[in-house]
Structures are given as structure tokens and as C-alpha cells.
Amino acid sequence: MLSLIKLVGQHEASLFLFTILVIFLVALFGSFLSRKGRRRLPPSPLKLPIIGNLHNLGLNLPRSLWHLAKHFGPFMLLHFGAVKVFIVSSADGAREIMKTHDIIFANRPRLRAIQKLLYNYRDVGSAPYGEYWRQIKSICVLHLLSNRRIQSFRAVREEETALMIDEIERATLILDVFTAGMDTTYTSLEWAMTELLRHPNVMKQLQKEVREIAGEKSYIQEKDLEKMHYLKAVLKETLRLHPPVPLLGARESTQDVEVMGYNIAAGTWVIVNAWAIGRDPMSWEQPEEFIPERFLDSSIDFKGHDFQLIPFGSGRRGCPGILFATTISELFLANIVHKFDWTLPSGVKEKDIDMTESNGLTMHRKFPLIAIANKCSC
């Protein structure tokens, strides 16, 4: 009898152990399956109910996203309220969005305010990717902003620039206040002048180039710009540190997609932080320093092929106004440094120049730049 009880007990114990083993294996397999099926999301800071990650953001959005990226890495998933936003802060990531998966990210997010302001998304910048956008973008690229069309207005631009130089010349009889507008092209010129005034050696080098090429001419013409390599380097360096549109036009994914190993769901907004990419130590030596020389022996350009320098974006939704903007900027900058020696108001040192940036879609100087135009003694 005793041995029968012992046998049943042993049998129950082994049944018990077997059951535990099965449960363990099932649990292990289940967890493996669910981990396999689970989406791998980009890292996110802790989000709060309703507002998501809005509390993580400061007023200077590119800068606060840059600080977050230093902690969470170049790919982050933030929640702007209920909206999922994929933030990209590296050249490799930008290439994935605007080249590898460009067609998936060719849409702009639909915002009610934009819909109301821009007549139901009728402008090129906000129009949904599709036939209508294709038509108006090709009008821009082929007819309004083509190389031929831009060249055809060369005389007008040169005349306007000459008039502006004369205007500044008249004003140099005490002080000229160099105030640039909020528009992207003028924003980049205002930052260029700011950096030139902060770096007198760069200004001197630029004036040397421009004045040597100009010779006896009163005004620089567009055909002279070709040879001005230092001028082009100064503008590139300005656009690297101060991209006028620091967070490139937002995009929206039209389908689920994997980017750099992360699963991005359809409908996620994507923001590429060009401002942070321009300062990324992985792409740039001494990233915080204004050194135009870095571009002299380099083929890096801002036309959208070198993803470490993308002030105009890239891919299908890239800016069609690059040629127009750079031609005006080069012509304007060459003429004002050719004709005038620029100084800061009395008592203001280079290091005192306020570099505070404004908030908003275009990042211009928060306070206007004040500089004195002295007629060149050359």
C-alpha cells in the first residue's frame, strides 16, 4: 500500500514538473513570437497624457530638438499632442527620407490652418503629392525658375543691385542700418554679413577676392561671380550654420516603412533638422566655427546630393528656387563688400554681436544687425 502511494506521488510530481516545463516553454515561445511581431520604434522621451512631448520643447525648436537628439540619438519619435513626429538629425537619416524613401515621404502634413490660408493646399509647398502638385512644380522648375528664365532677368537684377548700392552710398554720409527682411534669401544674407563682421579676417579675404576680380568696375556683374570661389564658400558656410529654414518642410509617410531599422507607421510626420545636421560633429570638423575655407577644396554642395548640407532640402519636395536664391545672394554680397568697408557701431566689439535666433519657420536674427557702411578707400 505504502509503495503504491509512493508510486502515485512520484507520478504526480513528474506530471507537475512536466506541466511547469510546458508552461515555461509556451511562455518563452510566446514572448519570442510577440517580440518578433512587435514594431521597433525609435527612442522617445517620456510622454505625458494629452500633450505628449510638447513639454520637452523650447521656443527655439531646432535647438531643443538638437539637445534631445544629443540624448536620444539622431532618430527620435516625439508626440506633438496626438501627432507622431519622427525627428531626423543626421545626414544618413536625411538621405533615407529624401532619397531612399523619397516617394513615401513626398507628402506634406495636412494642417487646417494651411488649408484655410492657402486655398485648400493650392500652393506648391503644401499641395499633396499627386498630379496637381506635379503640374505646378514643373511650371516652377521648367518655366519660372529655370536656368534660362533666371538668366533672362540678369540685367534687371544687376540694375536693382546697382540702385541699392547707390542708395547705401547716399546713406554713408553718417550710418546705414543693415536690416534684412524675414524672407529666406535675405535671411541668409543677414547671417552672412553677421558672420563676416564677427570674422574680420574672412571679410578681408572676401574683399580681396571680389576687388581683385572686379578690377576697375563700379559694380560686380553676374558673369564675374563664376570666379569668386571664396564668395561661394562664405555663402555655403553661412547656410551650414544658419539654414534659413532650419527644420525642412515637414513630410508625412504615406505607408508603413522601415527607416534605419525603425518602423515608421503610415501618417507619421517627419521633420529633418537641417540646423542640427549642419552642426553634427560626425560630418563636420570644428562644427561650431565659421570657417569658409572648409569648402575651398571640397566638392560638397547644397544642391541636395550631399546630405550633410541640405539648407534647400532634397528629392521631389526639394526647393526649386536654389539657383534664383544663390544668384541673388552672391550678386548682392559681392557688391556690398566690394563697394564698402563695413564696421560695427562705435564701442561694439565682434564678440558683442548678438547671435540670438528668432523662432518660427524661417530662422532670422532676433535683433536686426547694425553695421556702418564706409565708402571703400580702395
Interface residues toward ligand HEM, by CB under 6 A? 124-125, 137, 140, 145, 184-185, 188, 244-245, 248-249, 311-314, 317-321, 324-325
Extract the C-alpha cell encoding 369: 544687425
Smallest distance from the beta carbon of 374 to ligand HEM, in angstroms? 28
Nearer to ligand HEM, 46 or 156 (CB): 156
Nearer to ligand HEM, 88 or 214 (CB): 88
Smallest distance from the beta carbon of 364 to ligand HEM, in angstroms? 11
Nearer to ligand HEM, 214 or 259 (CB): 259
Tell me the CA distances in angstroms from 76 to 3, 22, 70, one per residue in order: 66, 40, 11
Nearer to ligand HEM, 91 or 372 (CB): 91
Which strands, in side-by-side order, build the sheet including 75-80?
Answer: 75-80, 83-88, 269-272, 251-252
Helical ranges in 131-199 per DSSP H: 131-138, 147-152, 154-171, 184-198
Smallest distance from the beta carbon of 296 to ligand HEM, in angstroms? 21
Tell me the CA distances in angstroms from 117 to 111, 125, 229, 249, one per residue in order: 10, 13, 41, 17
Smallest distance from the beta carbon of 125 to ligand HEM, in angstroms? 4
CA atoms lying within 13 Å on the CB side of residue 16: 6
**Looking at this protein, which amino acid is placed at residue 272?**
V
Nearer to ligand HEM, 363 or 372 (CB): 363
Give the C-alpha separation, 363 to 242, whole Å: 8
Helix axes 322-339, 229-241, angle to 10 degrees: 110
Q: Tell me how crowded residue 123 is: count the other CB atoms within 10 A of its CB.
A: 12
Nearer to ligand HEM, 18 or 132 (CB): 132
3-state secondary structure at position 263: strand
Smallest distance from the beta carbon of 248 to ligand HEM, in angstroms? 4
Smallest distance from the beta carbon of 316 to ligand HEM, in angstroms? 7
Smallest distance from the beta carbon of 187 to ligand HEM, in angstroms? 7
Q: Which helix (H) or strand (E) holds 236?
A: helix 229-241
Nearer to ligand HEM, 188 or 207 (CB): 188
Give the C-alpha separation, 370 to 346, whole Å: 11
Identify the burial level of 148 via C-beta atoms within 10 angstroms of its C-beta, where 0-12 means exposed, 13-18 middle and 19 or more buried: exposed
Helix axes 184-198, 200-214, angle to 10 degrees: 110
Nearer to ligand HEM, 45 or 128 (CB): 128
Smallest distance from the beta carbon of 192 to ligand HEM, in angstroms? 10
Query: Length of the chain in residues, anyone?
Result: 378
**Who contacts 96 (Cβ-Cβ below 8 Å, separation ≥6)?**
88, 259, 260
Nearer to ligand HEM, 114 or 140 (CB): 140
| Alpha-carbon torsion (320, 322, 328, 332), positive or negative | positive
Smallest distance from the beta carbon of 270 to ligand HEM, in angstroms? 10
342-374 b/e with 16+ CB inside 10 Å = b? bebeeeeeeeebeeebeeeebbbbeeebbbbbe
378 belongs to an annotated ligand binding site? no
Which residues make up each annotated binding site? 319
Which residues make up each annotated binding site for heme? 319
